[in-house]
Amino acid sequence: KKYVYAFAEGNKELKDLLGGKGANLAEMTNLGLPVPPGFTITTEACTTYLNTGSTPEGLDEEVATHLAALEKARGKKLGDPDDPLLVSVRSGAKFSMPGMMETVLNVGLNDQSVEGLARQADNDRFAWDSYRRLIQMFGKTVQNIEGEAFEEALEEIKRAKDTHNDLDLDADDLRQLVDVYKGIVREHTGADFPQDPREQLTAAINAVFDSWNSDRAVLYRRQERIPADLGTAVNVVAMVFGNMGMDSGTGVAFTRDPGTGEQGVYGDYLQNAQGEDVVAGIRNTVPLQDLEKLDKTSYDRLMEIMATLEGHYRDLCDIEFTIEAGQLWMLQTRVGKRTAAAAFRIASQLVDEGVIDLDEAVQRVTGEQLVHLMFPQFDTSAKVHQLGRGISASPGAAVGKAVFDSYTAVKWSRSGEKVILVRRETNPDDLNGMIAAQGILTSRGGKTSHAAVVARGMGKTCVCGVEELQVNTKRRFLTAPDGTEVHEGDVISIDGSTGRVYLGEVPVVDSPVVEYFEGQVDVSTAKDDLVSAVHRIMTHADSARRMGVRANADTAEDAERARRFGAEGIGLCRTEHMFLGERRQHVERLILAEDDEQRDQALEALLPLQRWDFLQLLTAMDGLPTTIRLLDPPLHEFLPDITELSVRVALAESRGEKNENDLRLMQAVHRLHEQNPMLGLRGVRLGLVVPGLFNLQTRSIAEAAAQLVKLGKDPRPEIMIPLVGSVQELEIIRGETEQVLKEVAEETGCDLPIMIGTMIELPRAALTADQIAEAAQFFSFGTNDLTQTTWGFSRDDVEAAFFSTYLEVGIFGVSPFETIDEDGVGELVRIGTEKGRATRPDLKVGVCGEHGGDPDSVHFFNKVGLDYVSCSPFRVPVARLEAARATV
Ligand code: ADP
Ligand code: MG
Ligand code: MG
């Protein structure tokens, strides 16, 4: 097995094996760009090392061979006392994990070779500066010495010279610093700084391997959902020196503005510096444009290279470079990170420039980015006081008074206050407070912490893990690093999209993208190029996708909004709200009815009310399919609360009164009480047990439709029976439903074809879908219930209780209620679809759980061949985009 690749042997497709950095260094090398020679040790070597505790057999020899080639290329030997070759040892995983892992520069220097380096370069200062950097980085990374020990020593020596500028330190100072550093190493390790260059190299390589499992790397991976078993590659690169003098330096650059996408010169440059200096803020950097004045040749060459990279990667690239005595070297490139807005703008600009086509533009943006753009945003032009920054756990912009416990959150919000719940971390006891709050802020925990998981489940804004904030819940205040204190009742603003926390009320502006979807922006004259970019990409997405996108909407108002957002129908109209409010009294009468007559009276009272609802809804959805689900929840949800009722009865009793109706209601509530309502009398079971209930709904729908047809409209209702587990259930209900439809057709003279289908939300339904399809004209997977019934999870109970633990220990990487569990629940979807279509090849199959608006799930549904997804109106654009991304 081959564990080491020279740069010339790799390419950018080999990220799994060579890591992102290594793969791109190889790519640049093969493009003929000036990359210092080097080689990459594969991620496989790393995983073997981490799993077995020792490096794989043959690795040492391979490294030796490649090192020899490197020495030959540079005409120097590693650590040669007279003219040393120095190398950097750099981590580089498949996914970039900024600042998470380690790099050691100037490996190969020791007490002798530092003198050789000084003589060769004729520059003592440079040599000793390099040596002190090696000891500092090696001490910290390889020998696990607190970085502060070195930093303090450096500060000390600057203080002695009365300067803040490291350039004021001369060769003698640095030589002295090296002595101090060596003392620190001796003190911490009990041994001298290793002088053998080869020993330095091996130790540095192993330290980079080990850094894969450092605490912060582990934490970061969990938050970013990067698999823990990928390992990191190690890049060994011949050093080039930006610290040789003022004609040297180091810099970073972007090929376009990562904020707006505009092409141009963006970056920072620092003269006479090495490595991270440019981003570490040790001295003021100069804007990249100024390099033109400092070193025109290198500047022109850099511009040329940036154009080459853009042309080659066909996207925004970010770059690290170093100039050694007027000679430009490329040290890193990758397709650069960008904001959500920039992603849309850049994709559209690249189309304008003829670099990519629209199909590719659709791939260059994500539904997740679109979600971010759709939330209301803080007005960034406002003057703000930032208190800190944490992890963006659940998007949105929330403003409210800080409260430090759930009880206060609930109490204050009841009295009409907007509150932000601030905790160190949350636990299930905080649930009520989280529900009451506008947003949640914690100082501990990452994207899988309790606060994050629950907030996302509720669609509530959440910033978590703002470690720089000291939260004192006992004394009800928090302290920011700048000393600002926020006490209970002080207003704060939290941005769940960026993780930023502000003091006071930051003004919130509507998202221009939502205004566009709402039809409030005329695209042809839109000033905001973001809106034009979104319009262009969404228009293409709609023409490219195979799956349809519908919305879950219960009212005409929601339906209209869903249409504006691009829904091509309603995939789920819940009808429970049609039994609430003033209509409860009729439902109560229905439940309490003692004979057919009483029952029919109650049903008759409900009929015109529901017909009116459906008239509204079908008018809003004129010309588009509208799937209406018959009543699903358990009946007792429509009865009064047992405690309230008991109090009422007791009060009446104490007055010596007796309310017959209340007493009968009490009995009914007790009779209908269920231990597990989720698995109780609901869905199709109601239709079978409560005579006339489903027929009432069917009749309302059919009469409303007939009325609209007479008005020249085009209503397209579809009737959906929930919670079916066996074809027999469906057959009975279908028979009755068809009977009612026939009656209405005869009465109205309007024979509208209305499809009758079912939800698949029980494992048994999926497994017997071939039978069920005999009686169903369409399927809609109710993946929320299907997830509950497949896992045996009661969503209302499990999310707050233990999901964060499950996520932390890795039982799943993401909540199965957020993203479809492909292996289990998804498998049932696949089986159900296949079996259903085996019986009825033209069976229409959709999904109407919340998963219909989740990017990963949408890709899965596309793969298993569903006809459409249905999701909340707000998610419709996300589903449109992701359905296209799954196709092109
Ligand atoms: P990170 O992954 O944190 O960016 P890098 O491996 O890129 O870490 O290295 C850290 C710094 O050291 C960067 O500024 C990089 O440009 C610089 N560097 C790495 N290797 C060399 C080298 N061979 N010569 C000069 N500078 C280098
Ligand atoms: Mg780097
Ligand atoms: Mg359901």
Instruction: Give the range among 19-28, 39-48, 275-284, 394-403 with minimum mean pLDDT.
Output: 275-284
Residue with CA nearest ligand 1 atom 3? 99
Residue with CA nearest ligand 1 atom 6? 90
Which of 103, 104, 117, 327 has most ligand 1 atoms within 8 Å of its beta carbon, as the pocket-test mutant?
A: 103
Q: How far is the CA of 676 from the centre of ligand 1 (A)?
A: 59
Could you tell me if residue 501 is inside a domain?
yes
Q: Are residues 388 and 487 in the same domain?
A: yes
Could you tell me if residue 391 is inside a domain?
yes
Give the Cβ contact number of residue 199 at 10 Å.
12
The ligand minimizing its distance to the Cα of 89 is: 1
The tens digit of pLDDT for each residue in 491-502 reads 999 999 889 999
Q: CATH code at 480?
A: 3.50.30.10
The tens digit of pLDDT for each residue in 315-330 reads 999 999 999 999 999 9
Overall number of domains in the chain: 4
Q: Which residues contact 834 (CB under 8 A, 6 or more apart)?
A: 769
Q: What b/e string do you get for 358-394 counting C-beta neighbours within 10 Å, with b at 16 or more?
A: beebbebbbbebbbbbbbbbbeeeeebeebbbbbbbb
d(Cα 488, Cα 402) in Å, to the nearest integer? 5
Ligand 1 pocket at CB < 6 A: 36, 88, 90, 99, 103, 105, 237-240, 275-276, 320, 322, 331-332
- pLDDT at residue 332 above 80? yes
**In the prediction, which pLDDT does 29 show?**
97
Q: How far is the CA of 189 from the centre of ligand 3 (A)?
A: 63
Of 733 and 849, the one with more pLDDT? 733
Could you tell me if residue 165 is inside a domain?
yes
Q: How far is the CA of 320 from the centre of ligand 2 (A)?
A: 6
- pLDDT at residue 2 above 90? yes
Instruction: Give the range among 342-351, 448-457, 780-789 with minimum mean pLDDT.
Output: 448-457
Residue with CA nearest ligand 1 atom 8? 103
Q: Are residues 71 and 188 in the same domain?
A: yes
How does the average pLDDT of the chain come out, rounded? Answer: 93
Q: How far is the CA of 662 from the centre of ligand 1 (A)?
A: 77
The C-alpha R_g of the chain, in whole angstroms, comes to 33
d(Cα 653, Cα 264) in Å, to the nearest integer? 82
d(Cα 75, Cα 839) in Å, to the nearest integer? 74
Q: CATH code at 612?
A: 3.20.20.60
d(Cα 756, Cα 774) in Å, to the nearest integer? 11
- Mean pLDDT along residues 302-320: 94
Which of 40, 78, 90 has most ligand 1 atoms within 8 Å of its beta carbon, as the pocket-test mutant?
A: 90
Q: Are residues 214 and 268 in the same domain?
A: no
The ligand minimizing its distance to the Cα of 91 is: 1
Question: What percentage of the chain reaches a pLDDT higher than 70?
Answer: 99
Tell me whether residue 636 is one of the annotated catalytic residues.
no
Which of 276, 279, 285, 321 has most ligand 1 atoms within 8 Å of its beta carbon, as the pocket-test mutant?
A: 276
Q: Are residues 777 and 742 in the same domain?
A: yes
**In the prediction, which pLDDT does 200 show?**
97
- Mean pLDDT along residues 700-713: 97
Q: How far is the CA of 453 from the centre of ligand 2 (A)?
A: 32
Q: How far is the CA of 538 from the centre of ligand 3 (A)?
A: 31
Question: What percentage of the chain reaches a pLDDT higher than 90?
Answer: 78
**In the prediction, which pLDDT does 755 show?**
97
- pLDDT at residue 347 above 90? yes
Could you tell me if residue 8 is inside a domain?
yes
Q: Are residues 164 and 39 in the same domain?
A: yes
- pLDDT at residue 794 above 70? yes
Q: How far is the CA of 332 from the centre of ligand 2 (A)?
A: 6
- Mean pLDDT along residues 510-530: 86
* Catalytic residue (choose from 46, 66, 372, 450): 450
The tens digit of pLDDT for each residue in 817-848 reads 999 999 999 999 999 999 999 999 999 999 99
User: Closest ligand 1 atom to the C-alpha of 321?
Assistant: 16
Residue with CA nearest ligand 1 atom 18? 275
Give the Cβ contact number of residue 326 at 10 Å.
12
User: Closest ligand 1 atom to the C-alpha of 38?
Assistant: 23
User: Closest ligand 1 atom to the C-alpha of 278?
Assistant: 14
Q: Are residues 16 and 53 in the same domain?
A: yes
User: In 3D, which of 498, 394, 431 has the Cα closest to residue 818?
Assistant: 394
- CA torsion, ordered 375, 380, 382, 387, to nearest 10 deg: 90
Could you tell me the pTM of the whole model?
0.86
Residue with CA nearest ligand 1 atom 27? 275
Give the Cβ contact number of residue 474 at 10 Å.
8
The tens digit of pLDDT for each residue in 375-405 reads 998 997 889 999 999 988 898 999 999 999 9
Could you tell me if residue 264 is inside a domain?
yes
* Catalytic residue (choose from 372, 848, 859, 871): 848
**In the prediction, which pLDDT does 275 show?**
86
d(Cα 573, Cα 617) in Å, to the nearest integer? 9
Q: Which of 509, 528, 562 is the last residue of a domain?
A: 509
Residue with CA nearest ligand 1 atom 15? 275
Identify any residues that bridge with 84 across adjacent strands, giving them in sequence order.
Answer: 77
Q: CATH code at 255?
A: 3.30.470.20
Residue 263 binned pLDDT confidence (cut-offs 50, 70, 90): confident
The ligand minimizing its distance to the Cα of 334 is: 2
**In the prediction, which pLDDT does 699 show?**
98
Q: Which residues contact 173 (CB under 8 A, 6 or more apart)?
A: 157, 161
Which of 105, 106, 117, 323 has most ligand 1 atoms within 8 Å of its beta carbon, as the pocket-test mutant?
A: 105
- pLDDT at residue 540 above 90? yes
Q: Which residues contact 220 (CB under 8 A, 6 or more apart)?
A: 97, 100, 226
Could you tell me if residue 365 is inside a domain?
no
Q: Which of 335, 353, 386 is the last residue of a domain?
A: 335
User: Closest ligand 1 atom to the C-alpha of 242?
Assistant: 25
Residue with CA nearest ligand 1 atom 12? 275
- Mean pLDDT along residues 241-249: 95
Contact status, residue 473 vs residue 423, Cβ threshold 8 Å: yes
**In the prediction, which pLDDT does 555 show?**
94
Residue 261 binned pLDDT confidence (cut-offs 50, 70, 90): confident
Q: CATH code at 106?
A: 3.30.1490.20
Q: Is 424 helix (H, G, I), strand (E, B) or coil?
A: coil
Q: Which of 509, 528, 555 is the last residue of a domain?
A: 509
Lookup: tokens for 209: 């391997």
Tell me whether residue 848 is one of the annotated catalytic residues.
yes
User: Closest ligand 1 atom to the C-alpha of 241?
Assistant: 25
User: Closest ligand 1 atom to the C-alpha of 103?
Assistant: 6
The ligand minimizing its distance to the Cα of 278 is: 1
The tens digit of pLDDT for each residue in 707-729 reads 999 999 999 999 999 999 999 99
Q: How far is the CA of 103 from the centre of ligand 1 (A)?
A: 7
Question: Residue 198 belongs to what domain range?
Answer: 4-238
**In the prediction, which pLDDT does 259 show?**
76
Within 559-688, strands assigned E span: 570-573, 625-629
Q: Are residues 270 and 218 in the same domain?
A: no
Q: How far is the CA of 18 from the centre of ligand 1 (A)?
A: 16
Could you tell me if residue 653 is inside a domain?
no
The ligand minimizing its distance to the Cα of 19 is: 1
Residue with CA nearest ligand 1 atom 23? 239
**In the prediction, which pLDDT does 614 show?**
98
The tens digit of pLDDT for each residue in 82-119 reads 999 999 999 999 988 877 778 999 999 999 999 999 99
Residue 223 binned pLDDT confidence (cut-offs 50, 70, 90): low
Lookup: tokens for 759: 């939800």
Q: How far is the CA of 349 from the centre of ligand 2 (A)?
A: 27
Residue with CA nearest ligand 1 atom 14? 275
User: Closest ligand 1 atom to the C-alpha of 92?
Assistant: 2
Q: Are residues 470 and 560 in the same domain?
A: no
Residue with CA nearest ligand 1 atom 10? 275
Q: Are residues 119 and 190 in the same domain?
A: yes
Residue 665 binned pLDDT confidence (cut-offs 50, 70, 90): confident
Q: Are residues 575 and 696 in the same domain?
A: yes
Q: How far is the CA of 37 from the centre of ligand 2 (A)?
A: 16
Could you tell me if residue 515 is inside a domain?
no
The ligand minimizing its distance to the Cα of 243 is: 1
The tens digit of pLDDT for each residue in 144-155 reads 999 999 999 999
Q: Are residues 313 and 427 in the same domain?
A: no
Q: Are residues 148 and 80 in the same domain?
A: yes
Residue with CA nearest ligand 1 atom 9? 103
